[in-house]
Amino acid sequence: MLGWRHYTASSFRLPVPAGAGSFGAWVTIDRSGAVTVAVPHAEMGQGVFTAIPMLVAEELDCDPSRVRAIPAPLHAAYVNPLIVLDGLGLKPQSEPLSEVAYWTLERLLRLVGAQVTGGSTSLRNTWIAAREAGASARALLLAAAADRWNVPVGRLRTLQGRVVDPVANRYLPYGELAVDAAGRTPTRAPLKSREQFRLIGRNMPRVDAKSRTDGSLQFGIDVRLPGLLYAAIRQSPTLGSRLIRAELPDDGTRALATLVAGEHFYAVVAKSWWRAERIADKVLAQWQSSDEPALSTAAIHDSLTAALDSPDARVFEARGEPEKALGQARRKVSAQYRLGVAAHAAMEPLNCTIRLGAEACDVWVGTQAPTLVQQVVAKSAGLSRNQVRLHSMSMGGSFGRRLEPEVAQQAVAIARALPAGTPVQLIWSREQDLRHDCFRPAAAASVQAALGARGELLALDFRAAGVSVLDQYAKRALGIRWPRLPDRGVIDGVAGCAYDIPGFKVSHTRVDSSLPAGFWRGVGYSTNTFFLESFIDECAHAAGEDPYQYRRRHLQREPGVLRVLEEAARVSGWGRPVATRRGVRGGRGIALVQGFGSTLCLVVEAEVEANAIRVPRAFAVIDCGLAIDRVNVRAQVAGAIVFALSAALHGPVEVVSGAVKPSNFHELSLPLMSNSPRIQVEIIDSGAPIGGVGELGVPALAPALANAVFAASGKRLRELPLRLA
């Protein structure tokens, strides 16, 4: 019902040419019967430009091959409240008062919230609203046909983009009814039951597959405008350093380029990006270092380790009497873990094209947060938000990186130094993109457990320390400090875990850092799942029990999670020896993660040869309620596993004397197709509410792999990236 209230609350209609019908904020149908769906979430490879139109097409009863997707314009009709509700750890509750409070806040966020893509919320946010839009349009088409034929609407049917009168054996294509139907008052229409679905839950071809493979799909970096200039940028060489002076050399380049200086960057503008990039290397620049001590990787980890014993830790969850159980326990298990800094390393580097005039500004950018980008550009350009026209572009990867608005802010500063109306495209080089990332922050955890006489978990005390990404993001992107309120993201992946542990305590100490921290795929789940699932394996080993059976024993009260665990063990052949070559040791590892409304279990096979770690196979089982687009669910989980593997085994981001060291992909040693695992993904449709998928494959990879390495070598690895030597 909430999706319907959201859908009808807006009077906004998508603009259409003459002869076409606009059915509100989501759907238009032209004279030929082609359907256009406005997608309110950014396409960055996760498939929302296929899945969301599928939701509309299902209820509209149209030919999915006649449906195309466009980026939704900026409007209140498309806001995403789930990104905030998830961040606060709020969910619909069965108790009446809690349910009323949740939906009241949800409704408020729909009125004042923002368009944003992240947190695996895209399909959860549109699951009802997009279907309601399709069902409403279908009802209007039926009513228009009934009036035209002067027959009861109840005797008519819809099929493949046509209204059919089975009694008179006649039909009308949607295109012939579109204008008439769109002019009618929308009515609420019933949604199909799951048993009636023809498209949802099937394998759908990606609508953008051809354009992605033949090069015709336009990414932000592909924008071309008449008279376009290009800007190359250089930013602070060390954290916090400021630009004191910058000038072009007196070698003839001043006639070929324009230099623009900011507080923490300078940019060179020329007629080609390569020329601007080469001239940028020649700029005579002087930087003033920050007053803070130069940061290093060692200093980061030292501060985190010290914070684990801080009295300032905030307790997020506590049940039972863990302190008493730990004090009385005869058998204890304890371990410390740490996780290094990681880069997003998206294939397409940051870029933004801008055309700034006196009264208006056009922005072409791939962004996960278009509302924020519009606000930032308007403020930087001295314009109102209504004067900023945002053109959302497809993205060549993001993984959370394009939630940040800084590239648009820099583009405005550069455009203001040029004649009004001059279009300019700012492109970060690969080196700038890696060294000036907003990284996955380092973190540390100290975990202690009390075991019973049969090795069962009686109590678990989980203490973690790390940066609050939400606090840094609020300060950097919004210009505010997140108050010292609980930041749910720092303990996602451990708080509320499904394991049956009578005494349980989760606490976290916030540590400030000058290294920019951002939302990295999986966010808190990617950090804390490594800590928790590695430790559960250690407890199983201390209890002398198989890691799978140990988890199974502690999940008897969670049948849904248990089903996923057992299916993963079955498909992976858990318990059978791992086949390896001579001189190579093999082992299996297992890990569970619950997050984004879904559950996933991952089994990894690892091969250890000397100090080298290889992953030949991985098996994943996911329960996301209902797999809307099954082929894309498998693709998302498999892609997330490979993404996580790169961070688990390769390329740590090092900070030396305040400077970030990786310069390009060759220093990250990313996995290639030749050394990526064969991945099998199985789906359980449990009938639970729709869950997220895009990030869930990341968190379980690192602990499953670390556990597999232990099974193969007997060596316990407690730090990411994983190293045997």
DSSP label of 672: P
Torsion of CA 315, 320, 323, 327, to 10 degrees: -170
Among 406, 414, 415, smallest CA distance to 355 is for 415
pLDDT, residue 207, reads 84
What integer is the mean pLDDT of 392-403? Answer: 96
> Does the pLDDT value for residue 3 go beyond 50?
no
Q: What is the mean pLDDT of the chain?
A: 94
Same domain, 560 and 605: yes
Residues 80-96 have a mean pLDDT of 75
Determine the 3-state secondary structure of 358 from DSSP: coil
- Residues 120-167 pLDDT 10s: 999 999 999 999 999 999 999 999 999 999 999 999 999 999 999 999
Residue 494 above 80 pLDDT? yes
Q: Which residue, among 271, 418, 428, has the nearest Cα to 356 in the 3D structure?
A: 418
Tokens of 306: 């010290």
- Classify residue 95 by its DSSP letter: S
SS3 of 397-421: CCCCHHHCCHHHHHHHHHHHCCCCC
Evaluate if residue 96 carries a pLDDT over 80. Answer: no
Domain-located, residue 252: yes
Pairing of strands 423-427, 443-451: unpaired
Cα distances from 252 to residues 240, 260, 279, 303, 403, in angstroms, run 32, 17, 11, 49, 39
> Given CA atoms 149, 155, 159, 165 in this order, what sign does their dihedral have?
negative
560 lies in the same domain as 670: yes
Residue 595 to residues 159, 219, 402, 480, 618, Cα–Cα distance (Å)? 38, 30, 22, 28, 20
Is the separation of the CB atoms in 67 and 57 below 8 Å? yes
Same domain, yes or no, for 193 and 302? no
Encode burial over 563-580: b for 16+ CB neighbours within 10 A, e otherwise: bbbbbbbebbebeeebeb
132 and 263 belong to one structural domain: no
Mean pLDDT of 264-285: 98
Domain-ending residue, one of 214, 236, 265: 214
pLDDT digits (tens, 9 = 90+) for 217-266: 999 999 999 999 999 999 999 999 999 999 999 998 999 999 999 999 99
Give the pLDDT band (50/70/90) at residue 84. confident
Instruction: Examine the pLDDT at 87 and tell me if it is beyond 80.
Output: no
Flag whether pLDDT at 74 surpasses 80. yes
Tell the residue number behind the tokens 């493979």, with chain if given.
Answer: 213
Q: What tens digit of pLDDT does each residue of 624-651 get?
A: 999 999 999 999 999 999 999 999 998 7
Question: Can you give the pLDDT at residue 88?
Answer: 74
In a domain, 434, yes or no: no
Q: How many CA atoms lie within 13 A of 272 on its CB side?
A: 3
442: its two tokens: 């380092």
> Where among 182, 214, 246 does a domain terminate?
214
**Domain carrying residue 270:** 220-290+350-427
Considering the domain architecture, whether residues 510 and 443 belong to the same structural domain is answered as yes
pLDDT at site 98: 66
The radius of gyration computed from the CA coordinates of the chain, to the nearest angstrom, equals 27
pLDDT at 239: 95
Considering its fold, how many domains does the chain have in total?
A: 3
pLDDT at 2: 38
Is 9's pLDDT higher than 70?
no
**Bridge partners (DSSP) listed for residue 243:** 287
> Is there a single domain that holds both residue 637 and residue 701?
yes
Predicted local distance difference test score (pLDDT) of residue 478: 82
Token couple for 332: 């204890």
- Residue 367's CATH number: 3.30.365.10
Q: What distance in Å separates the CA atoms of residue 245 and residue 287, rounded to the nearest whole number?
A: 7
pLDDT score recorded for residue 110: 81
Residue where one domain finishes, among candidates 187, 214, 241: 214
Residue 106 within any structural domain of the chain: no
Q: Which two tokens stand for residue 448?
A: 């202690």
β-strands 678-684, 585-595 pairing: unpaired
Task: Name the nearest CA neighbour of 522 among 600, 462, 584.
Answer: 600
pLDDT at 205 (0 to 100): 85
- Label residue 319 by pLDDT band (50, 70, 90): very high
Reply yes or no on whether the pLDDT at 95 is more than 70: no
pLDDT digits 0-9 by tens, 590-616: 999 999 999 999 999 999 999 999 999
Eight-class DSSP state of 717? P
* CA distances from residue 174 to 57, 141, 168, 184, 281 in whole angstroms, order as listed: 13, 7, 18, 15, 58
Give the relative orientation of helices 630-649 and 701-713 as an angle to the nearest 10 degrees: 60
pLDDT in tens, 644-672: 999 999 878 999 999 998 889 888 877 88
The answer on 456 and 362 residing in a single domain is no
CA atoms within 13 A on the CB side of 401: 25
**What is the rounded distance in angstroms from the CA atom of residue 430 to the CA atom of residue 345?**
9
pLDDT above 90 coverage of the chain, percent = 85
Residues 326 and 459: beta-carbon distance below 8 Å:
yes
Q: Is 360 exposed, middle or buried, given 0-12, 13-18 or 19+ CB atoms closer than 10 A?
A: middle
Domain membership of residue 13 (yes or no) is yes
Specify whether 499 is located in the same domain as 388.
Answer: no
Dihedral over Cα of 8, 10, 11, 16: its sign: negative
Residue 384 shares a structural domain with residue 467: no
Q: pTM of the entire structure?
A: 0.94
Mean pLDDT of 307-327: 95
